[in-house]
Amino acid sequence: MTIWREGETKRVILSCKGDSNGSPSKRKVVYVYSPQYTETCDSLSKVPNRASMVHSLIEAYGLLQHMSVVKPRVATIEEMAKFHTDAYLEHLHKISQDGDNDDPQSGDFGLGYDCPVVEGIYDYAAAVGGATLTAAQCLLDKRGEVAINWAGGWHHAKKDEASGFCYVNDAVLGILKLREKYERVLYVDVDLHHGDGVEDAFSFTSKVMTVSLHKFSPGFFPGTGDLCDTGMGKGRWYAVNVPLDDGIKDDRYFHVFTSVMQEVKALFNPEAVVMQLGADTMAGDPMCSFNMTPVGVAQCLCHVLDWHLPTLLLGGGGYNLANTARCWTYLTGAVLRQTLASEIPDHEFFTEYGPDYSLEISPSCRPDRNETKQLDKLIVTKCIAEHVINSLLLSCLSHCVYVNDVIRS
């Protein structure tokens, strides 16, 4: 990958490797979009108008002409019921119609503070689920090698409850769709938060491996994803969690990521990949945790794309809306091997990118707490020192993954 550096011509040059000879080749990319879908996603109160900001910036950079733009369909209740329970979907549909915030059953389904009841929420869930299913189907039909739904990636929702701003787990639906053709599907999650909903969904199977790099500290949502969380039953050793501390930057993150993923690729040998690329890891995000830039995330993405497998790309978190649009536009450019100007083009949301009006995100002065951990305190407990996870963890422990000084017998 080649990137823009300070002092050079202000162009952001993004590319993943080309063919086996190293020359760039055109990658078939599907981009799921419609005005109606974007309008529906804009209604989500936690990220208002984010979908429009992302799409408008991608369009302003002229990237749409390099992709196949596919109109998403709406998921049926039967399709969503392949993961979610009938009771949850029926309740979501009921309260969506009457907007009843006082229904006593809502709390049983996780609807409340972080997943408020709003009118039309079922239609939103069906739209997001349908868009990810549309993208996955395009991969199955070989309409593209990569399919993108930046408005998807809601990885916390469980079978029978909403969680963490997520009303539908479209990532799980996408994986299930890909499993109709591919025996082994790999899920990679680089959101700030642990992808607990997806891990839980496949914790008992060896057909789907989940890998999550995330912040892990006491009191931080969702409170799961410790080093020793490795799956259960037939799925034991098929969940990989890389818990990180605040302040991690691009270079260290990429080093850990590649150390883990090269082992995952060799041992699991996936046939397809779903990658969740939440942008709440960015410097300047209100979460105030990681200190990443789009460059580091693009490096991780290109590492996976260079496997040349059918790959479904999803969004996720990202609460600084301008930085989220910067990040996902940057990543879209990387997928397409396009050169992007550093200066934000004039478009509908141009004023949101002040005061510098640049595509670049600079890291803050936040200290990297991962560097302060004493590496000699890293331990591999008995419960993880075997089979797949042993190989995965030994390759990354020396970099910065740690267990919080608790020895588990």
What residues form the annotated binding site? 114, 164, 191, 193, 280, 319
Contact 75, 169 (CB under 8 A): no
Q: What is the pLDDT of residue 401?
A: 44
Domain count, the chain: 2
Same domain, 320 and 386: no
What are the helix (H) ranges across 149-211? 170-178, 196-201
pTM of this structure: 0.89
pLDDT of residue 140: 99
Is residue 214 one of the residues assigned to a domain? yes
In the prediction, which pLDDT does 110 show?
82
Edge-to-edge strands, sheet with 185-189: 68-70, 29-32, 146-149, 311-314, 272-276, 185-189, 208-215, 239-244
Element (H, E) at 240: strand 239-244
- Tens digit of each residue's pLDDT (9 = 90 or more) over 189-213: 999 999 999 999 999 999 999 999 9
Domain carrying residue 380: 371-408
Q: Beta-carbon neighbour count of residue 399 at 10 Å?
A: 18
CB 303 within 8 A of CB 257: yes
Asked if 274 and 317 sit in the same domain, the reply is yes
Examine residue 173 and state whether it is found in any structural domain, yes or no. yes
Note whether 96 and 123 are within 8 A (CB): yes
| 287 within some domain | yes
**245 is a domain residue:** yes
Q: Tell me, what CATH number does 114's domain have?
A: 3.40.800.20
One domain, residues 287 and 305:
yes
Residues 378, 296 share a domain: no
- Name, in order, each residue with C-beta under 8 angstroms of 378's C-beta and a sequence gap of 6 or more: 397, 398, 401, 402, 403
Q: Are residues 311 and 186 in the same domain?
A: yes
378 and 302 within one domain: no
- The binding site for a divalent metal cation consists of 191, 193, 280
In a domain, 18, yes or no: no
Q: Are residues 221 and 325 in the same domain?
A: yes
- 283 and 395 part of one domain: no
For residue 185, tell me if it sits in a domain.
yes
Residues 387 and 319 in one domain: no
- At residue 18, the pLDDT reads 54
Q: Would you list which residues are annotated within the binding site for substrate?
A: 114, 164, 319
Residues 140 and 233 in one domain: yes
Looking at the structure, tell me whether residues 138 and 32 fall in a common domain: yes
Residue 70 has what DSSP assignment? E
pLDDT value of residue 387: 46
- Where helices occur in 269-351 by DSSP H, the ranges are 294-305, 321-336
Per-residue pLDDT of the chain (409 residues; tens, 9 = 90+): 344 444 443 555 445 665 444 445 689 999 999 999 999 999 998 999 999 999 999 999 999 999 999 999 999 999 999 999 999 999 999 888 876 666 778 878 888 888 888 889 999 999 999 999 999 999 999 999 999 999 999 999 999 999 999 999 999 999 999 999 999 999 999 999 999 999 999 999 999 999 999 999 999 999 999 999 999 999 999 999 999 999 999 999 999 999 999 999 999 999 999 999 999 999 999 999 999 999 999 999 999 999 999 999 999 999 999 999 999 999 999 999 999 999 999 999 999 999 999 999 999 999 999 974 433 333 333 333 344 555 455 545 544 444 444 333 3
Is 4 part of any domain?
no
Distance of alpha carbon 162 from the chain centroid: 18
Positions marked catalytic: 156
206 and 170 housed in the same domain: yes
pLDDT of residue 101: 65
Of 237, 239, 228, 230, the closest CA to residue 198 belongs to 239
